Amino acid sequence: MQKKYILIIEDDPKIRRYLELELVHEGYKVDLAEDGKKGLELFRENNYSLILLDLMLPQTSGEDVCKSIRTESNIPIIILTAKDEIFSKITLLDLGADDYITKPFVIDELLARMRVIFRNKQAFVDKKIIKFENISLNLNTKEVLLDSIPVILTKTEYNLLHYLMVNKNLVLTRENILENVWGYDYFGDGKIIDMYIKSLRKKLDPDSKYIKTIRGFGYSLKKED
């Protein structure tokens, strides 16, 4: 199994070294940053599994680092806070953190919190994948696969496919599709659905094995009879 890759952004050299030794001992791969600016640079250069982030940092504050990371990624972040720092849990979560731990901390508690985050993240990812035959749709990454090969869809094509997949085997009227994909305030020509169905078929179902036209009603995603 590939090692999980942890970024530690901490200006205290003793704490930084302590965390590095403990995490490496636990089998993690580790990078270190002594200030916020370096931390952001490393974050953008590498694919980390989790970030341990001190709040009181030189160059760029921990709060700003957390907010910047959240605009670019959903990577888990655990905040490291000093006991005398006045931050409520709500404030830290509003910054985009997944959890926080107060210094001085017991390493076993930190490791346990990390394991919980990794378990929750995996459960979240697993639940966010919808499959139908050889088509896979990832709600988290918005990636669509056909026979494990990525297929590029427009936003509307993606939303239409998602609606068909979560309602598989049901007959969906044009009114159903327009309301749920284009919205209640859409007043355009309903023939736009035909255009997007044709595009989806071309990309995912050229033989129309799954995306069925139900004459007089609408469309349905289902296996061939």
Q: pLDDT per residue over 113-144, tens digit each?
A: 999 888 877 665 556 788 899 999 988 788 89
CA distances from residue 122 to 24, 136, 140 in whole angstroms, order as listed: 22, 17, 12
Q: Which domains are seen in the chain, by residue range?
A: 5-127 (3.40.50.2300), 129-221 (1.10.10.10)
User: Which of 18, 22, 27 has its CA nearest to residue 108?
Assistant: 22
Kindly indicate the confidence band of residue 8, based on its pLDDT and cuts at 50, 70 and 90.
very high
Give the range among 33-37, 48-52, 127-131 with minimum mean pLDDT.
127-131
| pLDDT band, very low/low/confident/very high, at 107 (cuts 50, 70, 90) | very high
Whole-angstrom CA distances from 168 to 40, 131, 132, 208 are: 43, 10, 8, 15
Backbone angles phi, psi at 139, to 5 degrees: -70, -25
Nearest partner of 18 among 102, 100, 10, judged by Cα: 10
What's the whole-model pTM score?
0.56
Prior bond to 206 cis, omega within 30?
no
- Rounded to the nearest 5 degrees, what angle is found at the Cα of 45, between the Cα atoms of 41 and 50? 85
**pLDDT score of 86:** 56
Summarize the confidence of residues 16-24 as an average pLDDT: 96
Q: Which of 22-31, 47-56, 171-180 has the lowest mean pLDDT?
A: 171-180
Contacts of 6 (CB under 8 A, 6+ apart): 23, 28, 29, 30, 31, 48, 49, 50, 51, 52
| Region of poorest pLDDT, from 4-8, 20-24, 88-92 | 88-92
* Whether the predicted pLDDT of 88 surpasses 80: no
pLDDT, one tens digit per residue, over 156-172 is: 899 999 989 988 888 88
